[in-house]
Chain A
Amino acid sequence: MDENQHPVKLSVHPSRGLVDEKFTVLVQNVPPGFQLTVHALHQCNSSHIWEAFGHYTADATGTVNVGEDPSLGGTYSGVEQMGLLWSLRPVPGSRPGLRMHKLNVQTPMEVTVSVFRGHQTEGFKDQGPLVSVVVERWYMAPGVCRIPVTEGGLTATLFLPPGPGPFPGILDLWGSEIQLLEYRAALLASHGFASLALDYMFHKMTSGKMVDYQYIEEAYRVLQQHPQVHSTRIAVLGFSLGTSVILNLTAYSEVVKPRCAVCISGSHVQPVDGSFNQVISFYEANQKKIRYNEKNEVICRDLVLPIPTDPKLKVDVGRIQCPLLLIAGEDDQSWPAHESAMDMKEMMERAGNSHLLTVLSYPNTGHLIEPPYGPHRATTIDHHRNVALWGGQMVPHCIAQEDAWKKTLVFLRENLHKTCAASVSKL
């Protein structure tokens, strides 16, 4: 370190935050006008290294505040308080098509935030930074319990908030991921919801056949009957293929009667008479509609386009009796979420239940709408080496994630926590 220079001070607050909490990154004690790079580095569970960085110029007091000062370049630009996280990307030389998933939610995501001299764009690992701190980002708040569930033949994980129950419950369904992703359910539990993350793909992976709807209904029942869950205050939340399941059950099931439903990046298009396996077969039968762009990236959205007029090929959302939140990215290349949302809106208007519907449709936003501040991936490569195009541009997609999550939490709180109009309960 240059002996003539004062030691640089770097602080990130909070140093241990939940993944959906904002942080303040403050650099102090540099000369006024000093050019520096604020850099973030994260080593993912699969040992891949991701980085992000912004270029800054210190003000007259020798300070840079990432939340207030503009980044002049790097992996993000402008005033972006959380840019160091959402613009993370695999370092040069990494395997293409990586996706960042936190598999073990009981440990934090660790990010090293550093300050480098000058406006750098590469070679960070070969230089010593001026100063570094370590920041933890948690999916689980203290006191949240993680409970694997095998009751009723399920493969699921329940996350219970701390404190005296009972709590409102959420059944959380992902899409066609090959392993159970727990992080959204863990985060929802950190917000006071007893959340059950359900794995329904394992059967398809092993036997080629999808589980039936009774399996999902059983998960709903298990959640409802749990002594620390409010039996009448349960929501269902689905992403991608999970949306197909949620919409079907919410409209038709005698067992699944949620207080509200959240559907992200999905569609109501599916054959409604028949089993879930038949739904999968329907999608698979339409595989000829899959396109490849000039980069050989797979675009699946046409599988269910055009939106059919045949009522047997889409969930009758006019039957839904609870508030429904639809979240769609208008540049979703995997599912036509926006077109589906528009069609569902029309159906509900005709049926007279559109007062239950809220649509959040985000321009330039892709398929993978996840909890906020995670990096945007326009394409990923799966275990079969298929390159899937998810769509979306980084900045609007990340803005959409932040907004959608905030609104999802408000929606869930409003519908799961509010007092019944019929009675005013005294504490």
Chain B
Amino acid sequence: MMQQRHKMNMQVAVRRLGSAGGVLSVCHGPKIHTVLRRLSAKAQSPRPILSVAPIRALVDEKFKVSVENLPPAAPVTVHSLHQSEDQDCWEAYGHYISDHRGTVSVSEDLSFGGTYSGKEPMGLLWSMRPVPGSRFGLRLRKMDVCAPMLVNITVFSGHEGFREHAPLASVVTERWHVAPGVQRVEVTIEGMRGTLFIPPGLGAFPGVIDIWGGGGGLPEYRAALLASHGYATMALENFALDDLKGKNLDLNYFEMALDKLKNHPQVISDRVGVVGLSLGAIFLLYLTAESPTFKPQCCISICGSNILSNDGTLNGFYNSMFRNINKSRLDENNSLIWQDVGLEMLCDPTSLVDVGKINCPLLLVSGTDDQSWPTPKFADLMAQMMRSAGKEHLVTTLAYPDAGHLIEPPFSPHFRATAFKVGGNNKKVIMLWGGHTKPHADAQEDSWTKILTFLKQHLYSSH
């Protein structure tokens, strides 16, 4: 019954915003004119002026949201709404009070509450969460990176109960993963998929290999964004965790991918780095340390670990990681926590890669509230190994307080727990990734800046 009411509330929320002419559907038709004629007769008072600049931006660019022409000291709510490719609705909002000139500046003023509070220029994006009544465990990821993410920014009067009021003004802003002119090229390596994003122009460009985690598939959005920053970036399909078990395949596919990228006519072969998250980082750390042919200019591990596969096969990784699967536990919401499974490995050197063998700059990013794997402890251990090998100058660790496992490009929402496939047969559990929204958002913003400067330092500048 509650679920029904929540669902209806969600539908009303979306319809209200939709019928007022904003949102994502085509904005005119006879029914809408009738609704608006009634609104028009009532509302001859001046409208607030809402502006977002830039109105079209890359997803890692900041915007300035401001409202003018309000009465002075007026309580208003600035609201954001996005309908994902999966048709789920995500929203965020902040409560503001206009100044004596009748202006609200989201970049400069304090939010008094909502999904974020305080002075947060980008809170309308990073604090987004599924609208009331949505399914549990959702994750927001852009799969078609050639089209922008559309976000409606709307201003309402009032704070509590703002949804009951008609919207005062609304704009649509576009958030892009690709800059104009970036090319997207599908590639296959040993039957596995990859997508290469090439910056505009003739090149040649520094290159990056980009690998995601154990959810499998081929998310392209970070690679597209890196290409927008001037790197020919190849996103590689990764294996799902489930697929590792029993597989005798080695990581040759990744080695071939690095070679293919280095030999691409538009790539500068001695300026290619690698970046990976979670399982992707595990593979990259292993290869960079152990493989005689896998030699990137620099390596970025986001929430990775130096896990060893003793026979170099995927099955070997699986065995190392899940030897202590009995240590997994559930939290009060029945979300799965694997942190302790990983903790056991730290005591067993036979299951760890000696990253002291790595000879290139290494950036280790982790979150101290990572509940899925003890990645900050692994990062500390890896840094220690590098120090012992006399390579302290090569390693940088960034352990972000209260950030979780899924450290993504900036301003994307935080996901503390999401549905994740595990245990075969397409079974999904809710995996606890950890992190608290505000510190996690700060970690995403800061780590991305540092990732970009790290890549620029090692791939664009002298080496």
Contacts and interface: CB of A to CB of B under 8 A. Distances in A.
Contact of B49 (A9, A128, A192): A192
A15 B179 contact: yes
Interface in A1-36: 1, 6-7, 9-11, 13-18, 21, 28-29
A425 B180 CA distance: 44
A133 interface: yes
Interface stretch (A66-74, A158-166, A198-206, A379-387): A158-166
B13 interface: no
Nearest to A162: B172
Contacts of B181: 112, 132-134
B20 A15 contact: no
Contacts of B154: 163
Given A7-B271, A16-B180, A163 B171 contact: yes
Interface in B161-212: 166-174, 176, 179-181, 199-206
Nearest to A141: B55
Contact of B202 (A128, A134, A227): A128
A21 B54 contact: yes
Interface stretch (B33-41, B253-261, B314-322): B33-41
Contacts of A424: 71
B46 interface: yes
Contacts of B461: 6, 29
Contacts of B123: none
Interface stretch (B56-64, B407-415, B427-435): B56-64
B46 A425 contact: yes
Contact of A16 (B20, B45, B57, B230): B57
A230 B39 contact: no
B158 to A, nearest CB: 8
Interface string B262-295: 0000001001000000000000000000000000
A324 to B, nearest CB: 21
A198 B27 CA distance: 22
Contacts of B71: 424-427
A192 B67 CA distance: 12
Contacts of B229: 11
Interface in A204-246: 227-228, 230-233
B107 to A, nearest CB: 16
B249 interface: no
Nearest to A138: B56
Nearest to B151: A142
Residue of A1, A16, A233 most packed against chain B (CB within 10 A): A16
Nearest to A165: B36
B326 interface: no
B323 interface: no
Nearest to A129: B201
A271 to B, nearest CB: 38
B50 interface: yes
A131 interface: yes
A15 B44 contact: no
Nearest to A166: B40
A164 B201 contact: no
A419 B170 contact: no
A106 to B, nearest CB: 14
Contacts of A233: 46
A145 B203 CA distance: 38
Given A16-B176, A163-B21, A164-B166, A141 B171 contact: yes
B451 interface: no
A305 interface: no
Contacts of B74: 427
B87 interface: no
Given A16-B54, A17-B54, A417-B47, A227 B36 contact: yes
Nearest to B166: A164
Given A132-B200, A164-B22, A232 B150 contact: no
A367 B254 CA distance: 62
B460 A162 contact: no
B210 to A, nearest CB: 19
Contacts of B166: 164
B202 A132 contact: yes
Given A29-B461, A141-B171, A142-B150, A425 B45 contact: yes
B188 to A, nearest CB: 28
A142 B157 CA distance: 24
Contacts of A147: 28
Contacts of B58: 15
Contact of A14 (B36, B56, B70, B205): B56
Nearest to B63: A14
A365 interface: no
B201 A133 contact: yes
A10 B201 CA distance: 11
14 contacts: A1-B203, A7-B230, A18-B55, A108-B180, A112-B181, A133-B199, A136-B56, A145-B26, A162-B171, A166-B40, A166-B44, A227-B37, A425-B46, A427-B76
Interface of A: 1, 6-7, 9-11, 13-18, 21, 28-29, 108, 110, 112, 114, 128-129, 131-136, 138, 141-143, 145, 147, 160-167, 190, 192, 227-228, 230-233, 413, 417-420, 423-427
Given A13-B61, A110-B180, A129-B201, 7 more contacts: A9-B230, A14-B61, A142-B56, A160-B27, A164-B170, A230-B40, A423-B45
